[in-house]
Amino acid sequence: MSLISKAPAEAGLVLVTGGAGYIGSHVVLALRDQGRAVLVLDDLSSGRRSAVPDGVPLVEGDAGDRALLADIFARHGVGTVMHFAGSIVVPESVERPLAYYRNNTVKSHALIEACVEAGIGRFIFSSTAAVYGMPDRLPIDERTPTKPINPYGSSKLMTEWMLRDSAAAHDLRYVALRYFNVAGADPQGRSGQVSKVATHLIKIAAQTVTGQRAELQIFGDDYDTPDGTCVRDYIHVSDLADAHVAALRHLEAGGASEVLNCGYGRGHSVREVLAMVERVTGRPLPMRIGPRRPGDPPALVAGVERIGRTLDWTPRHADLETIVTSALTWEERLVRQE
Ligand code: UDP
C-alpha cells in the first residue's frame, strides 16, 4: 500500500460524500496520498470544512439532492462514488427511525439512481457490522444472516440491498464494506474524530483522559466473556481508509461486486481497551461499572478471510496501542485548539 500506483487513465475522479466527516476525511487523505483526484460532497451537518485537506474541492450540499448530483456528474469526470454521508448514532436511530431511513436509505437511493442515470459504474459504500445484529457465532463472516436490531443497521442494510439489485440490473459494480469498531486518528495528525456527542468507547476514554468527562462507565461486567466485559474488533481508521482505496483498485481492475467485513479478526474487551489507555497515559482512568447498555451483543469479531482474499489490503496499524495512542494524541490536540 505504500507505493503510489498509477490509476487507469479512464479512472476519473472519486466523489466522496461525507468526506468532511470522521471516516470520509481519512479516506480522502488516503486517496490523496495515492495521488488520486478527489471531490468532496458534504452538507457540513456534522462534518467540518477544516477536515477537508487544502486543494480538495468541497461541494457543500446534500448527497441525496438529484439536481446537485446531476450537475456534479455533468461538470466533473466522476468515475467512482464513495458514499459515507449519513447518520450514525444508534440510540438516536431508535428514537427517530424515519429520520434515519430518510437520511441513510432514501438519500442513498437518490445517489445510486443518479449514478445509474449518469452511467457511473463504480460505487463503494460505507456499511456496518450492525447489519448482523446479535449473531450467536464468532467470528462473524459475511454469510452470517443479517438481522439488524436497530433502525441504523436496517437503514444501512437496505442500501446494501439497493446496490445488490441495481448491480444485477444495471452497469454498476459496488463494494460494501461492513465496518466493525472504527477508532483512532490519522498517524500524521491530519484528521481524527471531532464529534462532542461521542458514544464510542475509545473516544469517550480520550475525552475522560483530557478532563472533558469526570469518569467513564463500563456498560456491564457480567457478560459471558473472559473478563465479563464486551468484546469488539477495533480497527484503526487509517487501515479502514486504505481498505477503501484497495476496494477502488479492485473495481477499477474490473473486479466483481463484493460485500466485505472490515476488521482485524481479533477481539479486545472493554477492560483491555481501558487498561491500554492507562498504560499509554501512565495514569489511572477514572471509571466505574455501570449497568449493561441495551442492545449490546457480548462479542463481535469479524471474519476477515473474504477481505483478505479479495482486496490487496495489508493493515499497517493493527495493534491496540497504536489505535489508542493516535486517538489520545488527536484528542489532546483538539482540546488545545479550543
Ligand atoms: N462502552 C462502555 N462505556 C462507554 C462506551 C462504550 O463500556 O462509555 C462499551 C459498549 O458497551 C461496548 C463497547 O464499549 O461493549 C464498544 O462500544 P462502542 O459504542 O464503542 O461501539 P459499538 O460496539 O456499540 O458499535
pLDDT digit string, tens, across residues 245-265: 999 999 999 999 999 999 999
pLDDT tens string 153-199: 999 999 999 999 999 999 999 999 999 999 999 999 999 999 878 89
- Total residues belonging to the chain: 338
- Given 22, 101, 132, 152, the catalytic residue: 152
Protein residue closest via CA to atom 25 of ligand 1: 181
Can you tell me which residue has the cell 452497469?
Answer: 171
Tell which residue, 127, 82, 52, 112, has the closest CA to residue 251.
82
Confirm whether 174 is a catalytic residue. no
CA dist., res. 323 & res. 62, Å (int): 31
Residue 78 lies in a domain: yes
Answer yes or no: is pLDDT of 5 > 80.
Answer: no
pLDDT of 1 above 50: no
Distance 258 CA to ligand 1 centre (A): 28
What's the mean pLDDT when you consider all of the chain?
Answer: 95
By C-alpha distance, which of 215, 263, 223, 206 is closest to 239? 263
CATH of the domain at 65: 3.40.50.720
Amino acid sitting at position 312: D
Structural domain includes residue 336: no
Strands 173-179, 231-232: parallel, antiparallel or unpaired by DSSP?
Answer: unpaired
User: What is the Cα–Cα distance from 160 to 142, expressed in whole angstroms?
Assistant: 13
Give domain status of residue 244, yes or no.
yes
Q: Is residue 92 part of a domain?
A: yes
Asked if the model's pLDDT at residue 9 lies above 90, the reply is no
Which residue from 180, 209, 293 has its CB within 8 A of the most atoms of ligand 1, so it is best to mutate?
Answer: 293
Average pLDDT over residues 72-89: 96
Q: Which residue's C-alpha comes closest to atom 1 of ligand 1? A: 201
Residue 116 resides in a domain: yes
**Residue 80 above 60 pLDDT?**
yes
User: Residue 80 falls within a domain, yes or no?
Assistant: yes
How far does residue 253's CA lie from ligand 1's centre (Å)? 38
State the amino acid at position 166 in one-letter form.
Answer: S
Reference 27, options 100, 122, 125; nearest CA is: 125
- Residue identified by cell 473495481 is 251
State whether the beta carbon of 199 lies less than 6 angstroms from ligand 1. Answer: yes
* Domain around 101: 13-184+234-263
Is 182 in a helix, a strand, or coil? strand
Q: Is residue 147 part of a domain?
A: yes
The pLDDT value given to residue 2: 40
pLDDT of residue 3: 44
Residue 181, ligand 1, Cβ within 6 A: yes
User: Quick one: average pLDDT of 4-29?
Assistant: 86
pTM for the model stands at 0.96
- 144 in any annotated domain: yes
Kindly tell me if the per-residue pLDDT of 8 is higher than 80: no
CB of 271 within 6 A of ligand 1: the answer is: no
What DSSP state is assigned to residue 105? I
Residue 229 Cα: closest atom of ligand 1: 15
Per the structure, how many domains does the chain have? 1
